[in-house]
């Protein structure tokens, strides 16, 4: 492993040349995070003896609060991006060590890895760096093997048809006015969600402008009642943020209509799958997971990995969530 060198980059103008393969670890998203207030990017990069980038991981540093405390937390979506001719888990272990060393100095309260491609990917390396796993549920919808309409139960199709008959409209966000209303809806929806970071308006605007992002809106009589942010990477779609006025307009099913629009758009544009990035903990009673499963997807058991900077707290949480 000595043939690889690792480095940490926190400024876009110093990034080495690398592929844009995985959007969640791309230079494009690095620059988006860099331009977003309250966020900072941190890219760990591994190079070989010829200086070729063989692996990299993008971590978001997010400024968060838990009254009255202000702190930084770090989040990586997936294990990173790797050259085809290297052992990705071994390179991942080097990058993880470099990240922990750097973030420990930055007094980051905790580090989280979600949406890792395989449940056991990097297990020994996570453990060696003091991370502990929490069982998590992901939902994957296949779009290439069947028309999404055929995956829905007749009762759900009737609800969708009824909402359209009542005047509900679903479409892409295409104007600055729509973008402002969309950002307001998302901010209001996430503000009171426990342990959720409110998506910054700047980030939403940047994803709106990106070729790898789409914003979908659900409207009723001209009022925005639902919306979601999707990103697209390596032939797949990812639903990142979902917000709606689901209680006030329950009879119109704004969340259901919004998700359905995202699924149909991805299917019509030949994406192989759509992934829902936060279906949540695998508790027997998980309303959001059950809601997403109605669209015909499959639950996939994964781990989310956490490491807290306070030693006794990390040990306590590791014991609580012990396998």
Domain extent listing, the chain:
5-129, 139-301
In this predicted structure, what is the pLDDT of residue 65?
A: 67
207 touches 252 (CB < 8 A) = no
Residue whose pair of structure tokens reads 């093997």 in the numeric block: 145
Q: Is the pTM of this model over 0.95?
A: no
The CA-based diameter of the chain, rounded to the nearest angstrom, is 64
- Does 5-129 match 139-301 in CATH topology? yes
What architecture does CATH give domain 139-301?
A: 3-Layer(aba) Sandwich (3.40)
Judging by beta carbons within 10 Å of its beta carbon (0-12, 13-18, 19+), is residue 3 exposed, middle or buried? exposed
Q: Which residues touch 246 (CB under 8 Å, ≥6 apart)?
A: 226, 253, 254, 255
Strands 69-77 and 81-82: unpaired
Q: Which residues touch 214 (CB under 8 Å, ≥6 apart)?
A: 172, 229, 230, 231, 232, 262, 265
In this predicted structure, what is the pLDDT of residue 1?
A: 47
Instruction: HSE, CB side, 13 Å, CA atoms: give it for residue 220.
Output: 22
Alpha carbons 10 and 231: distance in angstroms, whole number:
23
Residue 266: name the closest of 244, 286, 287, 240 by CA. Answer: 240
| CATH class of residue range 5-129 | alpha beta
305 touches 116 (CB < 8 A) = yes
Tokens of 15: 């990034």
Query: Which parts of the chain register pLDDT below 70?
Result: 1-2, 65-68, 192-197, 280-284
List of E strands, the chain: 5-9, 39-47, 53-66, 69-77, 81-82, 108-114, 132-142, 168-172, 213-220, 223-233, 236-244, 273-276, 298-308
Tokens of 313: 């707290």
Alpha carbons 194 and 285: distance in angstroms, whole number:
17
Strands 236-244 and 273-276: parallel
DSSP-based three-state secondary structure for 243: strand
């Amino acid at each position: 492993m000595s043939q690889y060198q690792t480095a940490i980059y926190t400024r876009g103008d110093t990034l080495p040349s690398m592929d844009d393969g995985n959007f969640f670890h791309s230079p494009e998203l690095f620059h988006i995070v860099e331009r977003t207030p309250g966020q900072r990017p941190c890219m760990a990069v591994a190079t070989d003896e010829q200086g070729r980038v063989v692996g990299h991981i993008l971590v978001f540093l997010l400024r968060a609060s838990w009254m009255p405390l202000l702190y930084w937390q770090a989040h990586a979506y997936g294990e990173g991006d790797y050259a085809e001719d290297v052992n990705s888990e071994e390179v991942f272990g080097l990058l993880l060590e470099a990240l922990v060393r750097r973030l420990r100095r930055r007094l980051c309260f905790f580090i989280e890895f979600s949406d890792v491609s395989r449940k056991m990917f990097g297990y020994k390396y996570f453990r060696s760096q003091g991370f502990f796993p929490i069982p998590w549920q992901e939902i994957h919808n296949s779009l290439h093997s069947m028309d999404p309409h055929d995956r829905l139960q007749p009762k759900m199709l009737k609800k969708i048809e009824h909402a359209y008959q009542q005047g509900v409209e679903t479409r892409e966000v295409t104007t600055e006015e729509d973008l402002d209303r969309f950002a307001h809806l998302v901010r209001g929806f996430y503000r009171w969600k426990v342990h959720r970071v409110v998506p910054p308006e700047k980030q939403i605007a940047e994803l709106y402008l990106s070729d790898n992002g789409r914003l979908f809106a659900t409207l009723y009589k001209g009022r925005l009642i639902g919306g979601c942010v999707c990103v697209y990477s390596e032939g797949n779609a990812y639903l990142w943020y979902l917000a709606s006025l689901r209680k006030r307009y329950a009879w119109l099913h704004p969340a259901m209509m919004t998700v359905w629009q995202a699924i149909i758009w991805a299917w019509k544009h030949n994406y192989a799958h759509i992934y829902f990035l936060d279906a949540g903990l695998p508790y027997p009673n998980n309303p959001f997971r059950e809601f997403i499963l109605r669209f015909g997807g499959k639950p996939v058991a994964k781990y989310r990995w956490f490491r807290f900077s306070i030693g006794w707290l990390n040990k306590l949480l590791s014991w609580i969530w012990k396998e």
